[in-house]
């Protein structure tokens, strides 16, 4: 069925298909009319989100992966992983290391911690398997470097999208993700539970109304037994098995339901020590033992009841539960009654399969399926009541063990799902993570319920790789507040301000910077940047270099500036300073031998795009002026001395040599003809004669002549108090 549903979705809409500019597209690459390998694509406008990336527990190797080839992976902007169960996260190392995925990836803190432990065990196990491994330990380590963490209720912006995680219940750290793109809000629940249990709070109701909810449909229209009734049924079943001398095997997921059930059994054994103290409870999973540290670290993510208990003792340091380190020896050596929890929950491999095959022919024993049994696993098969099973070695053996299905699964049932959707009231619901038949029963029930309540609701049940298109007009409206809103802008006119999103509804406002404190919690601030550069040339040389390079160099003179503090910690004196382009102040601080201060310039500017750009250019000019040829410095000194002495002839000669040195620095070889009052240039074989006093340039190349004239203008403005009056040809 899934194969016939495949079609490419990355080539743009075909004739008659909805356009992505007005439609949101949801494509299940996994968990489409199946339970396993959750991986859902959400596309709207030019943004693409991947929700989860897991493997299918009933398949092996590449067959267990989501259908990642159905989209252009390199167009995915962000991947959001809801929780650490393998069917939601175990394909992440493959995604990050063996595909073209270039986006960012997020999960909560507990999910990242447990993800690493679970997948490291999986990678180590793959070394000893004949199956082709999807990833190795190096791939896992590399994935940890790329995974970013996010807190519940923390709104982050990624590629122009707003993303907020909410609590999902289910397991420690599990999150629902609300994504908003251009006003379209999509909520992905992942696996969730609206019922609190012994250690986890219930899933949240997001405070804003989503347009689309992608929700799990694992249990379809089924209803869970009330918690107390389920617990009593479990305990009675275990007691009956023990009383007849049998053993109980409970296949579980290592983290999540295992801790919930161990809390229940430990509490029950403590209350009935006189009767049950001789009956051992074992956990046959290293990950269950490692969970102790994880739950201690993230106790704040647990519910209020368990947090209160933590003040007295760690409830996960179980009083009646032992860790079984060698299941093979235990199977061969132990024959008395006991209770064993082992992984995986589907009985497809591992310790749970070993115990089940060893005990399945004894009618005194019991197997309790406590979690959802995925199609294609042994757990699903034995719930059908077969008279025999096939072992992993291929032998057919009789099935005499009692099999009970007492669900402690933290997945939403029909009542939770219908109640949740009634609370958030989305007009569009997409069902995923459910078997084909159950999903369609749930869809019909949800449609009927919405119709009876007079609520507009579309419900979709896509199969693998089938696109659901939901029409939504993008919201690009912005509210003008404060000063900007006092006078409506003229149509077509530009409006400038600060764009602010705030609040759960992501309301967008455009504000004048001065209005930020009035309408938001933001304050307008500035960062003053300073940079000091040691110099060994007079400030006149630096000023000259700046005036040659920049227009609008003003304020030459003295400005107050903190120089070297005196012995009493005073501010020091004043320094020469100029302002470049009204953005960057350049202050000169002379050497002070007494305090050990060397001569230097201090650049000061307000941080920002323009200021930073001008400051970078000023730094380059200052550094260049330090390295000016000695003849330029000596010519400038001679010119200034001659002017001070009133010797105009000597000043003019020195000025000509200074111009020659500066032009040589810009254009290359230059010779000074003092008798003719000319500077002769050779620029890549093109000759030019500069009559500085007349302000005239003779050159056969118009472009080069224009460049030299522009430089001459700036040099004259920097050296002479009056501009040149250059004749035009």
Angle at 673 between CA 670 and CA 675, to 5 degrees: 170
Model confidence at 538, in pLDDT bands (50, 70, 90)? Answer: confident
| Residue length of the chain | 729
Give start-end residues of each CATH 3.60.15.10 domain in the chain: 28-223+411-462
- Most confidently modeled range among 1-15, 550-564, 627-641: 627-641
The residue with greater pLDDT, 721 or 211, is: 211
Tokens of 468: 């659901």
Q: What percent of the chain clears pLDDT 90, i.e. is strictly above it?
A: 45
- Residue 11 exposed, middle or buried by CB count within 10 Å (0-12, 13-18, 19+): exposed
Q: Which CATH architecture has domain 227-405?
A: 3-Layer(aba) Sandwich (3.40)
pLDDT at site 629: 58
Q: Examine the pLDDT at 600 and tell me if it is beyond 50.
A: yes
Give start-end residues of each CATH 3.40.50.10890 domain in the chain: 227-405
What is the mean pLDDT of the segment spanning 254-283?
89
Sign of the CA dihedral running 51, 187, 105, 47 = positive
SS3 call for 576: strand
Query: In this predicted structure, which of 280-284, 296-300, 339-343, 419-423 has the lowest mean pLDDT?
Result: 296-300
Q: Examine the pLDDT at 540 and tell me if it is beyond 80.
A: no
Q: Examine the pLDDT at 569 and tell me if it is beyond 90.
A: no
Give start-end residues of each CATH 3.30.310.180 domain in the chain: 528-626
What is the mean pLDDT of the segment spanning 264-276?
91
For every residue of 347-408, DSSP letters joined together read -SSHHHHHHHHHHTT-TT-EEEE-S---TTSHHHHHTT--SEEE-TTS-EEE--SEEEE---
Q: Examine the pLDDT at 557 and tell me if it is beyond 60.
A: no
For residue range 64-102, what is the model confidence (pLDDT) as tens digits?
999 999 999 999 999 999 999 999 999 999 999 999 999
* Lookup result for tokens 């199956």: 131
For residue range 215-228, what is the model confidence (pLDDT) as tens digits?
999 999 999 999 89
For residue range 144-197, what is the model confidence (pLDDT) as tens digits?
999 999 999 999 999 889 999 999 998 999 999 999 998 899 999 999 999 988
- Asked if 51 and 188 touch (Cβ cutoff 8 Å), the reply is yes
pLDDT at site 667: 75
pLDDT at site 19: 57
Domain topology for 528-626: TATA-Binding Protein (3.30.310)
Residues ≥6 apart with Cβ < 8 Å to 270: 319, 320
What is the mean pLDDT of the segment spanning 205-224?
94
Model confidence at 720, in pLDDT bands (50, 70, 90)? Answer: low
Model confidence at 565, in pLDDT bands (50, 70, 90)? Answer: very low
- Asked if 420 and 412 touch (Cβ cutoff 8 Å), the reply is yes
Query: In this predicted structure, which of 426-435, 518-527, 588-597 has the lowest mean pLDDT?
Result: 518-527
For residue range 15-50, what is the model confidence (pLDDT) as tens digits?
444 455 689 999 999 999 999 999 999 999 899 999
Residues ≥6 apart with Cβ < 8 Å to 385: 403
What is the mean pLDDT of the segment spanning 641-655?
81
Give the whole-angstrom CA distance, residue 566 versus residue 595: 8
What is the mean pLDDT of the segment spanning 409-413?
90
Model confidence at 444, in pLDDT bands (50, 70, 90)? Answer: very high
Query: What's the pTM?
Result: 0.64
pLDDT at site 507: 61
Model confidence at 426, in pLDDT bands (50, 70, 90)? Answer: very high
The residues annotated as belonging to the active site are 411
What is the mean pLDDT of the segment spanning 376-382?
91
Q: CA-CA-CA-CA torsion for 412, 414, 417, 419, nearest 10 degrees?
A: -120
Q: Which CATH architecture has domain 28-223+411-462?
A: 4-Layer Sandwich (3.60)
What is the mean pLDDT of the segment spanning 589-618?
88
Model confidence at 535, in pLDDT bands (50, 70, 90)? Answer: confident
SS3 call for 105: strand
């Amino acid at each position: 069925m899934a194969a016939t549903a495949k079609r490419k979705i990355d080539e743009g809409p075909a004739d008659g298909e909805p356009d992505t500019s007005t439609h949101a597209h949801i494509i299940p690459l996994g968990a489409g009319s199946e339970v396993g390998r959750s991986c859902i694509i959400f596309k709207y406008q030019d943004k693409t989100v991947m929700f989860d990336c897991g493997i299918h527990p009933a398949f092996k190797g590449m067959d267990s992966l989501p259908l990642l080839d159905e989209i252009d992976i390199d167009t995915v902007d962000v991947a959001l992983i809801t929780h650490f169960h393998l069917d939601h996260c175990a394909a992440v190392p493959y995604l990050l290391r063996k595909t073209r995925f270039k986006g960012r990836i997020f999960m909560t803190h507990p999910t990242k911690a447990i993800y690493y432990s679970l997948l490291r065990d999986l990678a180590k196990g793959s070394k000893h398997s004949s199956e082709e491994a999807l990833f190795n330990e190096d791939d896992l380590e590399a994935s940890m470097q790329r995974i970013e963490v996010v807190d519940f209720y923390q709104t982050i912006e990624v590629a122009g999208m707003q993303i907020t995680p909410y609590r999902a219940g289910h397991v420690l750290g599990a999150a629902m993700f609300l994504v908003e793109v251009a006003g379209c809000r999509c909520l992905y629940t992942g696996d969730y539970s609206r019922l609190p249990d012994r250690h986890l709070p219930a899933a949240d109701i997001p405070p804003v109304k989503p347009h689309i909810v992608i929700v799990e449909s694992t249990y379809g229209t089924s209803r869970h037994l009330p918690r107390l009734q389920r617990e009593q049924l479990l305990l009675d079943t275990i007691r009956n098995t023990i009383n007849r001398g049998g053993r109980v095997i409970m296949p579980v997921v290592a983290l999540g339901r295992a801790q919930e059930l161990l809390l229940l059994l430990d509490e029950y054994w403590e209350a009935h020590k006189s009767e049950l103290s001789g009956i051992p409870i074992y956990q046959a999973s290293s990950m269950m033992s490692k969970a102790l540290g994880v739950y201690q670290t993230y106790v704040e993510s647990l519910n209020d009841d368990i947090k209160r208990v933590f003040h007295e003792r760690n409830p996960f340091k179980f009083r009646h539960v032992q860790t079984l380190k060698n299941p093979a020896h235990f199977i061969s050596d132990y024959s008395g009654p006991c209770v064993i929890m082992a992984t995986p929950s589907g009985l497809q491999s591992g310790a749970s399969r070993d115990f089940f095959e060893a005990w399945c022919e004894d009618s005194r024993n019991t197997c309790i399926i406590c979690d959802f049994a995925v199609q294609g696993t042994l757990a699903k098969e034995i719930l059908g009541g077969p008279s025999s099973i096939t072992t992993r070695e291929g032998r057919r053996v009789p099935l005499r063990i009692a099999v009970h299905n007492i669900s402690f699964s933290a997945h939403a049932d029909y009542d939770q799902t219908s109640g949740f959707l009634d609370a958030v009231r989305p007009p569009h619901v997409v069902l995923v993570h459910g078997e084909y038949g159950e999903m369609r029963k749930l869809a019909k029930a949800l449609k009927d319920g919405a119709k009876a309540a007079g609520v507009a609701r579309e419900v979709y049940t896509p199969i693998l790789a089938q696109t659901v298109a939901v029409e939504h007009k993008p919201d690009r409206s912005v509210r003008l507040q404060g000063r900007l809103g006092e006078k409506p802008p003229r149509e077509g006119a530009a409006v400038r301000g600060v764009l602010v999103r705030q609040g759960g509804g992501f309301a967008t406002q455009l504000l004048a910077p001065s209005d930020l404190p009035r309408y938001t919690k933001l304050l307008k601030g500035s960062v003053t940047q300073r940079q000091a550069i040691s110099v060994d040339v007079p400030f006149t040389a630096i000023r000259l270099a700046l005036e040659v390079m920049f227009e609008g160099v003003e304020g030459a003179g003295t400005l107050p500036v903190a120089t070297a503090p005196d012995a009493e910690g005073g501010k020091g004196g004043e320094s020469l300073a100029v302002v470049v382009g009204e953005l960057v102040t350049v202050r000169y601080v002379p050497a002070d031998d007494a305090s050990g201060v060397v001569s230097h310039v201090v650049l000061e500017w307000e941080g920002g795009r323009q200021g930073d750009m001008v400051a970078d250019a000023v730094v380059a000019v200052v550094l260049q002026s330090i390295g000016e040829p000695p003849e330029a410095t000596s010519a400038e000194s001679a010119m200034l001395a001659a002017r001070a002495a009133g010797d105009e002839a000597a000043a003019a000669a020195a000025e000509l040599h200074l111009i020659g040195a500066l032009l040589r620095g810009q254009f290359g070889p230059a010779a000074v003809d003092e008798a003719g009052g000319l500077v002769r240039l050779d620029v890549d074989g093109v000759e030019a004669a500069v009559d500085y006093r007349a302000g005239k340039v003779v050159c056969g190349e118009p472009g080069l002549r224009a460049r030299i004239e522009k430089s001459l203008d700036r040099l004259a403005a920097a050296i002479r108090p009056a501009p040149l009056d250059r004749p035009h040809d």
